Structure 1
């Protein structure tokens, strides 16, 4: 009881005392937190892809709409990405008051997806200069226990990997409409795209968040750890081992090159692990699609 009271009243000294003995006093003290990706089999889909890093859980869903492409990019579609934190995800999120971190993570996910080149927007084009897909990606945080960006990015990549581009045609009014197999047989509509397909994802990005405190570096911080220590670095590495971006969220402490290099090394190892986890999650669905 006295130890728990000391932990609540003086959390930073409590952590520093354990770290001095090379002990991390949280459930995340294991080398790698449990990380899972669940992708619904298709057809038919039974639910949107989900990801879990430690106790942080995300759910992602994509909605497609037909839009008129802009004059500056007539042969490209568009992406819209939103990160949501409903009150159910954390007691710190109050009903009626959006979480401050939500738009920040939305912007970071959008920046990573666009800068990494994981998606070729030309694959979302339907009719040059006239019609293209607008893909809305919504990521919902079901449980927030630290490392939100890592879990959100993983769920986003799983959602894009699972996305099926539907068959479409142009009706007599010039409107682009979705075409099912039965409707195609009855009306003999000419298809804009000849077959259902998935996006060709390139150089898939993965991320790792590290907490820095004095001369200590530890990955996958929990919400408790993030509330105590303010130096957080998130490194994004793509599936080819290339550095995509580095984020440092707040904090007044400078990050030395040696510490940053260590974070990058850890991120590269994690990217290899996540790439395998994602491939294992998608492999049953790929078998169904080939059938």
Structure 2
């Protein structure tokens, strides 16, 4: 009993030290190139993708990176294309942080990070050319698909953008476009069994398909957030780590290794180019991991559907 009591007291002292001096507590571990949970500094947390968890959505995906959990869903609607882009559809992306995701988010007070991440997602998905908006056209100048992509953070335990982007990509990759076309009365109807394409009296092509089709994805973006503290680089930080050492750098690459964006929300200015290069190198390795995880998840879904 005496040994157990001493062990318990020791654990309480460690926890008290961690709460009172969190930075010093972490630095004692970082000097040994590990975190308090024994995870190496350059190792990301376990990552999983569950495609199609929402049967009511046109496409959906749930992503977990450690405890960080994102749920994304897509709904399709018919829209009238703009005169500037008559042969293109549109995509609208919104990121939400409900109060259940973190004690820091309170009811009635929108999380400050939500609109920032929404804008980041929009910028990355559009600049990466993941989706060719022309594939969302139904009839040039008359009808197109509007893609509403909603992403909800269910557990905010760090690296939120990484998990949000992965869930967005997984949902888009799982999306199937219904077979529709524009009839003679100008209404969008099912084109099941009709020809692949047809042309109206004005020479405009109606992009119809006889079966559901997946989008032809272009450059697929993935991201990795690194935490920078003194000479240390921590890959895929937790919420606790971000709160203690707030200097972050998010690297977005596509599967070909092309750099799409670098995002640094705060903290000191990077003094060394080598630090950025190290982050990009770590992100390159992470992209390969995420690409494999995404392919496996989508393959499993194809087997279930067939």
Q: TM-score, normalised by structure 2?
A: 0.86
- The question of 1:243 aligning with 2:259 is answered yes
Cα shift at 1:68 = 1.1
Any conservation in 2 of the 1:210–1:217 contact (CA below 8 Å)?
A: yes
Task: Specify the alignment match of 2:6 in structure 1.
Answer: none
Task: Specify the alignment match of 1:3 in structure 2.
Answer: 14
- The gaps in structure 1 that reach 5 residues or longer are 185-189
Any conservation in 1 of the 2:138–2:181 contact (CA below 8 Å)?
A: no
Cα shift at 1:71 = 1.2
Residues 44, 83 of structure 1: CA spacing in aligned structure 2 closer, same or farther, 3 A cutoff? closer
- Give, in whole Å, the separation in 2 of the partners of 1:144 and 1:209: 14
- Give, in whole Å, the separation in 1 of the partners of 2:56 and 2:154: 24
Deviations 1:200-238 (A, max 9, x none): 111210000000000000100000000011210000110
- Give, in whole Å, the separation in 1 of the partners of 2:33 and 2:299: 39
Cα shift at 1:101 = 0.1
SS of the aligned residue for 1:140 comes to strand
Q: Which residues of 2 match residues 156-175 of structure 1 at below 5 A?
A: 156-170=168-182, 173-175=185-187
Any conservation in 1 of the 2:59–2:176 contact (CA below 8 Å)?
A: no
Alignment RMSD (CA, Å): 2.5
Any conservation in 1 of the 2:71–2:167 contact (CA below 8 Å)?
A: yes
SS of the aligned residue for 2:233 comes to strand
- Give, in whole Å, the separation in 1 of the partners of 2:271 and 2:237: 17
Task: Specify the alignment match of 1:86 in structure 2.
Answer: 98
Task: Specify the alignment match of 2:197 in structure 1.
Answer: none
- Give, in whole Å, the separation in 2 of the partners of 1:199 and 1:238: 17
Q: TM-score, normalised by structure 1?
A: 0.90
Q: Which residues of 2 match residues 1-291 of structure 1 at below 5 A?
A: 1-26=12-37, 28-29=39-40, 31-40=43-52, 48-170=60-182, 173-177=185-189, 179=190, 192-287=208-303, 291=306
- Give, in whole Å, the separation in 1 of the partners of 2:166 and 2:85: 28
SS of the aligned residue for 1:245 comes to strand
- Give, in whole Å, the separation in 2 of the partners of 1:39 and 1:180: 27
Cα shift at 1:148 = 0.3
Deviations 1:75-134 (A, max 9, x none): 111110000111111111101111100000000011000111111000000100111111
Any conservation in 2 of the 1:41–1:285 contact (CA below 8 Å)?
A: no
Report how many aligned residue pairs link the two structures: 283
Residues 176, 47 of structure 1: CA spacing in aligned structure 2 closer, same or farther, 3 A cutoff? closer
SS of the aligned residue for 1:49 comes to strand
Residues 45, 158 of structure 1: CA spacing in aligned structure 2 closer, same or farther, 3 A cutoff? same
Any conservation in 1 of the 2:58–2:175 contact (CA below 8 Å)?
A: no
- Give, in whole Å, the separation in 1 of the partners of 2:207 and 2:82: 23
Any conservation in 1 of the 2:93–2:150 contact (CA below 8 Å)?
A: yes
Residues 265, 170 of structure 1: CA spacing in aligned structure 2 closer, same or farther, 3 A cutoff? same
